[in-house]
């Protein structure tokens, strides 16, 4: 059973903070501008019954879509380099790591935490994305015809095993 709504303030789209791994990915954490929370799909097995095409039954597996971040590009490109080296490191380390098959946890997988902030900048909820790994480093668009002083962003997509909603303490 869920708690009744007592706070009728709506969530502001800019009140969030992303926490990845400050030592390895501090630029991603600091320059995250936008996050697209993944959708969830319950995969319903087909269940045919006499004379009826399919009978709806509750699903038995859960699929989590990709987690997407839009990252601000700093002028030294440290945020972009961080993701690029992470992805290329994944590819380069697969055949070289001797303990890969025997290890119970993959060191390349990280948890990403999204802190949802209130209108008073207090954390009200955490979303923890479990066992994330980058799977797409998006396009950088540089153009000399732009008259605006807009900042450049680039998308990064992560595959994740699952996520959990946590109350702030």
Label residue 143 exposed, middle or buried (CB < 10 Å: 0-12, 13-18, 19+): exposed
Tens-digit pLDDT profile for residues 70-109: 998 888 999 899 899 989 988 887 655 544 444 455 667 8
Q: Rounded distance, CA 6 to CA 82, Å?
A: 42
Residue 133, H or E segment: strand 123-137
With H, G, I as helix, E, B as strand and everything else as coil, classify residue 116: strand
- The label of the residue with tokens 């709806």 reads 56
Q: Which residues of 63-88 are buried (b: 16+ CB within 10 A; e: fewer)?
A: ebeebbbebebeeeeebbebbeebbe
pTM attached to this predicted model = 0.78
Angle, helix 78-93 to helix 22-31, in steps of 10 degrees: 130
Going 169 to 42 to 132 to 72, the CA torsion angle's sign is negative
Asked if 17 contacts 5 with a C-beta cutoff of 8 angstroms, the reply is: no
More confident of the two residues 133 and 120: 133
Tens-digit pLDDT profile for residues 6-46: 766 667 667 788 888 767 777 777 788 899 999 999 887 77
């Amino acid at each position: 059973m869920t708690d009744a709504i007592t706070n009728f303030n709506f969530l502001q789209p800019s009140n969030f903070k992303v926490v990845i791994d400050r030592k390895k990915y501090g630029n991603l954490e600091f320059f995250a501008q936008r996050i697209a929370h993944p959708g969830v799909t319950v995969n319903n097995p087909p269940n045919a019954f006499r004379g009826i095409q399919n009978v709806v039954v509750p699903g038995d597996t859960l699929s989590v879509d990709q987690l997407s971040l839009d990252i601000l590009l700093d002028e030294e490109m440290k945020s972009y380099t961080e993701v690029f080296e992470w992805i290329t490191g994944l590819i380069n380390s697969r055949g070289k790591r001797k303990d890969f098959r025997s290890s119970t946890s993959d060191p390349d997988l990280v948890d990403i935490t999204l802190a949802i902030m209130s209108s008073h900048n207090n954390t009200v909820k955490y979303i923890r994305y479990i066992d994330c790994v980058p799977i797409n480093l998006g396009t950088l668009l540089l153009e000399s015809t732009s008259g605006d002083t807009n900042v450049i962003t680039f998308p990064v997509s992560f595959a994740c095993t699952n996520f959990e909603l946590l109350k702030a303490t």
